[in-house]
Amino acid sequence: GQQLNQSPQSMFIQEGEDVSMNCTSSSIFNTWLWYKQDPGEGPVLLIALYKAGELTSNGRLTAQFGITRKDSFLNISASIPSDVGIYFCAVNNDMRFGAGTRLTVKP
């Protein structure tokens, strides 16, 4: 099946820094989604992208649907301690998730 390559695997940043992560695939998709999993909880949808080139924001979060339809990016600006968690990309064609980016924010 299609592979979703998510990077980086983990990030350790200082509070206030910006964060960037991405997800790539060799296949084309019509939908990219970004979820966040808080420790001990299930993933929660952050942003959904439905069109190539689309740029969508949700507060300090901004995600983009790559123009080739094979990738997506998630940026978090001015990180805060509650941003800690695992961020997953997903494509809804086959319920597949990326391996996740584990974010640690140091106060």
Partner 1 sequence: DSGVTQTPKHLITATGQRVTLRCSPRSGDLSVYWYQQSLDQGLQFLIQYYNGEERAKGNILERFSAQQFPDLHSELNLSSLELGDSALYFCASSGSGTANEKLFFGSGTQLSVL
Asked whether position 12 contacts partner 1 by CB under 8 A, the answer is no
- Please, which residue, 73 or 88, has the CB nearer to partner 1? 88
Residue 78 CB, shortest distance to partner 1, in Å, is 26
Asked whether position 50 contacts partner 1 by CB under 8 A, the answer is yes
How far, in Å, are 37, 55, 68 from residue 83 at the CA level? 10, 20, 29
Which letter does DSSP use for residue 76 in this model?
E
Contact pick of 12, 14, 39, 41 for partner 1 (by CB under 8 A): 41
The percent helix, strand, coil of the chain (3-state, each to 5) is: 5, 50, 45
Q: How do strand 101-106 and strand 10-14 relate by DSSP bridges?
A: parallel
Strand partners, 56: 63
Q: Please list every residue from 67 through 86 that binds partner 1, using CB under 8 A.
A: none
Residue 10 CB, shortest distance to partner 1, in Å, is 10
Binding footprint of partner 1 on the chain (CB under 8 A): 30-31, 33, 40-45, 48, 50, 88, 90, 92-100
